[in-house]
Amino acid sequence: MPCAEPVSQKFQSKRSGARISFSLKQAEMFRRIAREARQSVLSARNGKLASSSLGVLALFSGLSGTGKTMAAEAIARELRTSLYRVNLNQVVSKYIGETEKNLTRVFEAAQKKRAVLLFDEADALLGKRSDVKDSHDRYANIEVNYLLSKVEAYRGLVILTSNRKVDWDPKILCRVKYLLEFSPPLPSPRVQPRP
């Protein structure tokens, strides 16, 4: 089955002091994501959605400090809900089965609060899967599959962030509804004094 092309947008962040501001066009995109997430949750509750497409998945990519987390916060405010920020490095365990238990706890807690889930630096786990050469590769692929199944079943909005360009797993990109690229602000032109 061919994968649907995600709604893609490039954002140029504007820095004013320590704050980052978004244009009206950007703010409208965040509202659009929030509306779709809200509609998806309502449809799932009313039994109008297939269980395989309960929520909305967005991918925010760009360098650190370009506004990815602030955008996620703005969307959570628009939805009038909490933002659960998850660092995958703290969830992934070297012990077999522990990663799945940790992820289950995260998703259950977020579902109770109807929170927006933000997986920070998701490329740590969601890059292109490797060929299975040993049991470690096999188990890493199982963890990714488990996370994908939890994301798919989540009734709400899940946002993945990435600070770098990676070879994203095609199975992940197939599920992404919104792919937003954040760029650093352009430097202001410097005014030279006249001689």
- pTM, two decimals, is 0.78
- Residue ranges for the chain with pLDDT beneath 50: 1, 51-52, 129, 132, 134-138
The domain limits of the chain are 9-183
pLDDT 10s digits, 29-52: 888 999 988 887 776 566 555 544
Q: Which two tokens stand for residue 162?
A: 């990435």
Distance CA 65, CA 44 (A): 35
CB atoms within 10 A of CB 136: 11
Distance CA 163, CA 37 (A): 24
Residue range 9-183 forms a domain whose CATH class is alpha beta
User: Which residues of 63-149 form beta strands (DSSP E)?
Assistant: 83-87, 116-120
Residue closest to 125 by CA, chosen among 157, 101, 77, 161: 161
Q: Is there a contact between 132 and 141 (Cβ–Cβ < 8 Å)?
A: yes
Q: Is there a contact between 60 and 161 (Cβ–Cβ < 8 Å)?
A: yes
